[in-house]
Amino acid sequence: MPYRAPTSEFQFIFDNIVGLEQTRATEKFSDATSDVIEAILAEAGKLSDDVLAPLNRNGDLEPATLENGVVRCSSGFDAGYAAIAEGGWIGSSASEEFGGMGLPFSVTTAVNDMMSGACLALQLNPLLSQGQIEALEHHASDEIKALYLPKLISGEWSGTMNLTEPSAGSDVGALSSKAVPNGDGTYAITGQKIFISWGDNDFTENVCHLVLARLPDAAPGTRGISLFMVPKLIPDENGKPGVANTLKVVSLEHKTGLHGSPTAMMDFDGAKGWIVGAENGGMKAMFTMMNNARLGVAVEGIGVAEAAFQKALEYANERKQGRTAVEGGNGTIVDHADVRRMLATMKSQIFAARSIALSCAVAIDMANATKDAEWRDRAAFLTPIAKAYGTDVGINVSELGVQVHGGMGYVEETGAGQFSRDVRVTAIYEGTNGIQAMDLVARKMMDGGDAAYRLLEEIEQNAESARAKFPIMAEAVWSAAETLREATEWLVAQDDLNDRFAGAVPYLRAFALVWGSHAQLMAAVAEGGEGPRTRLARFFVKRLLPEHGALLAHVREGRGDLMAISAEDLAS
């Protein structure tokens, strides 16, 4: 069974879990009716199933290559990209002024999830363009918007972001790339960037690089960074790609997975660029793109998890081995208790992660439509949780997929291993998951925990409403939220950030489990009786949610015993 986009799952979550109807009640998204969204999901599903999914194996077996300075992409990726562009999917949430659809970002997030499950290596390309589009919409001059946005939205040109340098890594403030004014409003950009996803391709007319660099005499650290648009081919007076800029792909990385996505080392040698946003305001502008990308990466993890689960379920329903005493069983390994446990874990984790990601996307839509600070804060708080948990689930589910296959999972021809190799990097993209967790317990709690408490109050209220029909599940969810509240109060009270950072990852994971169990409970309520969603909800709440207790015990230990372990201790 090939990959099939779970369009009905998105519709269910939109209708019953994340409250997409709130966006339709705003003037900004009033045209995004239920019928329109259903039709969009169906069309995106067909594209994912019929066009993109058949390319996934090609990307793994026929990696992108660099030949005499020219990037050659995997077989069929040109046609797949053309289908994405021609369908308008790159600019689905972009401004209609420049050719976009103006759809809610939550709908685009669902589409990105499907495309990631179909072919993650190719989907990365339009995802980067979407992030660049948003950054330009918010920060670029009118001239840059008019020139670049229509081309990026149509897919004629593609976009990248260039942050990381060989000596800087995640410490963006340490970057050394220079931007020197040319005296005509442009700048000469010089420096090297590494890990640039889709740094070049052979199927778009132009590649538009957003590059972080320092102006002369700029302040050290992130305060002295500016953002520049540096195209591969400099547009002429008619806006057509003209002469080649002085930049090049030095090499492509030899990666564990995602072989179809060319990850480049880029060299900029006095390349002509145009400033985007204010001088020394590069981080603000780039974070617009990065926050978009963090949710995009979250659903990359979830999409691959979906594909890995579908493949594992198909195998488990076909593979006969051993005997089980399951009444009415079909005699295949799906009847074995441990295989059933793995499959239930996979499916229920995907639902939880997807619900968190789409809750975050709806909050982004509502913040954009209403300008309400509480929606903005909700979106900001959920973003690191969605990114880290979504990608952790991608890794865990794809690993379980290999395990369900047994020995055949370790044989490349089955394709199960590719999911695990491809998705692994998503926990590193756009700030490692450890950085996401540190951001959650530090920057996102500068409000004294208010955003967290509002989410916990919502969980507890919904759990109270569900007590009559599902008393055991509702009590477990309510109690878990209360325990999480107490841990949050403890975190907020810590003045030494290392006391927060020591338990940041366990805290984020615990919050995801509690919010995910809340989504599972709401799914059972929506189903209205004993059925597959209720049975999976009960599995998640009874078997996976209890992990939150151990995680929060870790959180409240603070830094003491952890930081007492010296480097010498680790080496002994």
Q: Which residues contact 61 (CB under 8 A, 6 or more apart)?
A: 259
Where do the H-state alpha helices sit in 155-265? none
Q: Which residues pair with 233 in a beta bridge?
A: 244
Q: 129: exposed, middle or buried (C-beta count within 10 Å: 0-12, 13-18, 19+)? A: buried
Structure tokens given for 41: 């999901």
Q: Distance between CA 554 and CA 504 in Å, rounded?
A: 9
CB 53 within 8 A of CB 3: yes
Classified as helix, coil or strand, 213 is strand
CB 275 within 8 A of CB 218: no
- Is the CA virtual torsion 301, 353, 86, 138 positive or negative? negative
DSSP 309-322: HHHHHHHHHH---S
322 φ/ψ sector (left φ>0, alpha ψ -120 to 50, else beta): left
Where do the H-state alpha helices sit in 493-546? 497-501, 504-527, 532-539
Classified as helix, coil or strand, 4 is coil
Amino acid symbol at 146:
A
Q: Distance between CA 343 and CA 371 in Å, rounded?
A: 41
In degrees and rounded to multiples of 5, residue 213 shows phi and psi of -155, 170
Where do the H-state alpha helices sit in 467-503? 471-492, 497-501
CB 46 within 8 A of CB 54: no
Q: Choosing from 300, 430, 527, 568, which is the catalytic residue?
A: 430
Q: 389: exposed, middle or buried (C-beta count within 10 Å: 0-12, 13-18, 19+)? A: buried
Length of the chain in residues, anyone? 572
Alpha carbon separation from 278 to 133, 141, 274 (Å, rounded): 17, 10, 11
Q: Distance between CA 78 and CA 270 in Å, rounded?
A: 30
**Catalytic-residue membership of 489:** no
Q: Distance between CA 514 and CA 299 in Å, rounded?
A: 19
Amino acid symbol at 152:
L
Q: Distance between CA 75 and CA 65 in Å, rounded?
A: 11
Q: 487: exposed, middle or buried (C-beta count within 10 Å: 0-12, 13-18, 19+)? A: buried
CA-based nearest residue to 541, from 395, 349, 353, 355: 349
CA-based nearest residue to 455, from 443, 439, 444: 444
In degrees and rounded to multiples of 5, residue 322 shows phi and psi of 75, 180
Q: Which residues pair with 247 in a beta bridge?
A: 268
Classified as helix, coil or strand, 53 is helix
Active site residues: 430
